[in-house]
């Protein structure tokens, strides 16, 4: 049957076990298998392609990744500029600040009595524990940091950059916020008030609390996407970081800018498309919206990020020893210039 041949290009090659194998080698060979193992391998290939071309790489971080021990992975990505723009939930940034201030998350269990934990002042995040009182140290730091700022609206990017500068002096360890500051990587936090950062700022008496300029964030990220030669996106979890990065292409389109959708896309998710939410939706669905380019390289890795992310980044780091990346322009001065709207 002649027609059949076009479907039969490459056989599945059963993955061999090699004692002592390195991660990059194993991940590469997973590319010859199937299901999520193959997708994980493809994710490394796509990210590598982003790094080899002059692609602006957006990274969306959701889920309790810092408590789960992914902080150093992010620091690595920032320091080595494997990513150019970070969009995060507030919680991950708060937990990062907590650790940067010298405190810890603890290995716990998801099978403890939570009312007992409450009694001793321990907050549980699945199988991770944190000491409530120690969180208050970070709360207070954020509150007092904001007190020192002049009274005007701040984009979350500017707020976090200033905090990165401040923490670089005060902090006891390198973290996400400090490493991003040093590397010149902007961090956005579209739901900043929906976290202990927001809570800390809400402890201020009277109406003159800190004001975030969220629409400024939208404009800036659209500008970064619109000016890029090409954009790539990497999502760990869904939530606001994924949607916020996805919508840069929609915003730029409505601003009559010449964009075609993100060209490279990776997501590591435990969600599924059939619930209809944005967190679990496919990149194909995103193509209908123009968020992902019609011609694009993309893959979804259905996996807990605590497994997939260290593997992917270790494999990538192994490969990237050979390359030097050309960095995209991340300057943010022109972002308030919207010349035109789609209905005009």
Site for a second copy in 317-336 (CB under 8 A): 317-318, 320-321, 336
Q: Minimum distance from CB of 162 to a second copy (Å)?
A: 17
Q: Is 225 in the site for a second copy (CB under 8 A)?
A: no
Taking CA atoms, 205 is separated from 200, 256, 286, in Å, by 11, 43, 43
Q: Which CB sits closer to a second copy, 90 or 164?
A: 90
Work out which of 28, 194, 257, 330 binds a second copy, going by CB under 8 A: 194
Q: Is 164 in the site for a second copy (CB under 8 A)?
A: no
Taking CA atoms, 223 is separated from 18, 248, 260, 337, in Å, by 47, 8, 14, 9
Q: Give the residues across from 299 on adjacent strands.
A: 266
Q: Minimum distance from CB of 189 to a second copy (Å)?
A: 10
Q: Which CB sits closer to a second copy, 40 or 187?
A: 40
| Cβ-based neighbour number of residue 329 at 10 Å | 12
Sites for a second copy among residues 264-323 (CB under 8 A): 270-279, 281, 284-290, 294, 300, 302-304, 306-308, 310-311, 313-314, 317-318, 320-321
Q: Minimum distance from CB of 138 to a second copy (Å)?
A: 11
| Cβ-based neighbour number of residue 300 at 10 Å | 23
- Among the listed residues 204, 291, 321, 333, the single catalytic one is 291
Query: Residues in the chain, how many?
Result: 344
Three-state DSSP class for residue 344: coil
263 in catalytic set: no
Tokens representing 172 are: 């006891």
Q: Minimum distance from CB of 109 to a second copy (Å)?
A: 9
Q: Is 16 in the site for a second copy (CB under 8 A)?
A: yes
Q: Minimum distance from CB of 160 to a second copy (Å)?
A: 14
State the SS3 of 121-168.
CEEEECCEEEEHHHHHHHHHHHHHHHHCCCCCCECHHHHHHHHHHHHH
Q: Which stretch binds a second copy (CB under 8 A): 160-168, 225-233, 235-243, 325-333?
A: 235-243
Work out which of 47, 71, 86, 185 binds a second copy, going by CB under 8 A: 71
Half-sphere exposure of 210 (CA within 13 A, CB side): 27
Work out which of 56, 101, 105, 179 binds a second copy, going by CB under 8 A: 105
Work out which of 148, 151, 205, 333 binds a second copy, going by CB under 8 A: 205
Query: Minimal CA–CA distance to 217: which of 182, 192, 237?
Result: 192
Q: Minimum distance from CB of 326 to a second copy (Å)?
A: 20
Work out which of 4, 148, 169, 333 binds a second copy, going by CB under 8 A: 4
Residue 228: partners with Cβ closer than 8 Å, 6 or more residues away: 55, 56, 328
The contact pattern for a second copy, residues 165-184, with x = CB under 8 A and - = no contact, is --------------------
What does the angle CA 143 – CA 149 – CA 151 come to, to the nearest 5 degrees? 110
Active site residues: 291
């Amino acid at each position: 049957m002649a027609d059949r041949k076009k479907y039969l290009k490459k056989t599945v090659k059963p993955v061999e076990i090699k004692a002592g194998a390195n991660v990059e080698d194993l991940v590469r060979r997973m590319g010859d298998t199937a299901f999520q193992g193959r997708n994980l391998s493809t994710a490394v290939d796509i990210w590598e392609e982003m790094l080899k071309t002059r692609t602006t790489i957006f990274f969306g971080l959701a889920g309790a990744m810092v408590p789960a021990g992914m902080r150093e992975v992010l620091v690595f990505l920032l320091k080595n500029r494997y990513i150019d723009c970070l969009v995060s939930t507030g919680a991950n940034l708060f937990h990062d600040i907590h650790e940067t201030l010298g405190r810890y998350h603890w290995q716990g269990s998801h099978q403890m009595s939570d009312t007992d934990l409450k009694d001793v002042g321990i907050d549980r995040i699945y199988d991770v524990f944190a000491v409530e009182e120690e969180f208050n140290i970070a709360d207070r730091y954020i509150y007092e940091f904001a007190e020192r700022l002049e009274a005007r609206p701040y984009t979350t990017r500017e707020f976090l950059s200033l905090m990165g500068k401040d923490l670089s002096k005060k902090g006891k360890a390198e973290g996400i916020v400090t490493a991003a500051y040093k590397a010149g990587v902007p961090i956005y936090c579209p739901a900043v008030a929906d976290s202990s950062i927001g809570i800390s700022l809400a402890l201020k008496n009277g109406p003159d609390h800190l004001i975030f300029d969220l629409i400024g964030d939208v404009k800036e990220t659209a500008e970064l996407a619109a000016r890029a030669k090409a954009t790539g996106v990497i999502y760990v979890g869904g939530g606001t970081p994924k949607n916020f990065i996805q919508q840069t292409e929609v915003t730029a389109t409505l601003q009559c800018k010449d964009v075609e959708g993100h060209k490279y896309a990776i997501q590591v998710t435990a969600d599924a498309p059939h619930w209809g939410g944005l967190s679990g939706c496919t990149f194909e669905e995103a193509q209908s919206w123009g968020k992902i380019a019609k011609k694009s390289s993309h893959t979804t890795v259905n996996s807990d990020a605590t497994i997939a992310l260290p593997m992917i980044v270790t494999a990538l780091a192994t490969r990237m020893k050979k390359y030097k990346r050309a960095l995209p322009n991340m300057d943010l001065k022109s972002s308030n210039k919207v010349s035109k709207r789609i209905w005009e």
